[in-house]
Amino acid sequence: MPDTLLEQHAAALRLFGERLRAVADDQWGAPTPCTEWSVRDLVNHVVAEQLWIPPLVAEGRTVEEVGDAFSGDVLGEDPVAAWDKASAAAHAAFAAPGALERTVRLSYGPALGMAYCSELTADCVVHTWDLSRGIGADDELPDGLVEFSIKEVMPYADGLAASGMYAEPLEVPAGANAQTRLLALLGRRG
């Protein structure tokens, strides 16, 4: 069980990478629980999120300075290679000395590097579930990453639907496990 934030981040990246490697050639156009996205769209989104990390965290650039550098297709002909390169650079940026204590200027305002890392770790965990569902793979997430993600998402779960990026939270059935609770917070039915 990973203990530190950086270990949680690395575990989430590994998990997504494992699921990505399971995508068959004929599954890139398959739908995902993210109703606007195919499997390729979802993977493109997660890879693009990783690409943002080095310029924002390591270089101290702003969202405006980065601009549309990561808009459009960032996967190219080899989505797995794009993921491997982007996720390694993202983790290295967060793991650099002082990176988690550094202020990062995000689209919604300044945040500590550790808050940004936590947010993207939870996002990666949930998108691993989305990807798993899209390709028909095992969608059970590791308990530790689920618990981490619940703690990350809980403080702002009510406002996520208002952002337009998430569905309304769902009612959680009595006795639901942690994964079901996490997914319900984000408008997903497990």
Q: pLDDT 10s per residue in the chain (190 long)?
A: 346 999 999 999 999 999 999 999 999 999 999 888 999 999 999 999 999 999 999 999 999 999 999 999 999 999 999 999 999 999 999 999 999 999 999 988 999 999 999 999 999 999 999 999 999 999 999 999 999 999 998 877 677 666 666 677 788 888 899 999 999 888 887 7
Q: How far apart are the first and last CA of the chain?
A: 23
- The CA angle 13-75-89, to the nearest 5 degrees, is 40
pTM: 0.93
Q: Do residues 180 and 121 touch, judged by C-beta distance below 8 A?
A: no
Please return the burial class of 71, using the count of CB atoms within 10 Å of its CB with bins 0-12, 13-18 and 19+. exposed
